[in-house]
Amino acid sequence: MALLEKFRATPVLVPLGSIQSPGAESGFLTADMNGIRFILAFSDQQALARYARAQGVFHSEWSYQTVLGARLLDVAVPAAGVPCGVALDCADGAEGLVLPPVKGIVPDEATIDAYTER
């Protein structure tokens, strides 16, 4: 729970666009995995650069917004309209943090159960 509280209180970088077109501002950068969408967030510019390098788009310019972690979980996740969580520093392996759409992390109406019970 301490990691969750720290994330909620921390501003993070959230890229705009898509992996194919990092400069295209079409909403937050996301990745889908096993039927769950994850908003990709980064703790700093270096973490974002490591992700860009891993995707082979290091030389592209990335637009991003700085968003408070709590706002991502409480506003952006429910607005996705599909099961959605947040992946922090996803290019950093075990050093990253995955916040899935489950009770206690996201609002109840945005949990994966809320979508499967409809």
Short-list 83, 77, 5, CA closest to 41? 77
- What is the pTM assigned to this prediction? 0.88
Look at residue 85 in the predicted model and tell me its pLDDT: 96
Q: Which residue has the higher pLDDT, 16 or 20?
A: 16
Which residue in the block uniquely carries the two structure tokens 């945005």? 110
pLDDT exceeds 50 at position 24: no
| Distance of alpha carbon 95 from alpha carbon 86, whole angstroms | 14
In contact, 63 and 42? CB cutoff 8 Å: no
Mean pLDDT of 15-27: 63
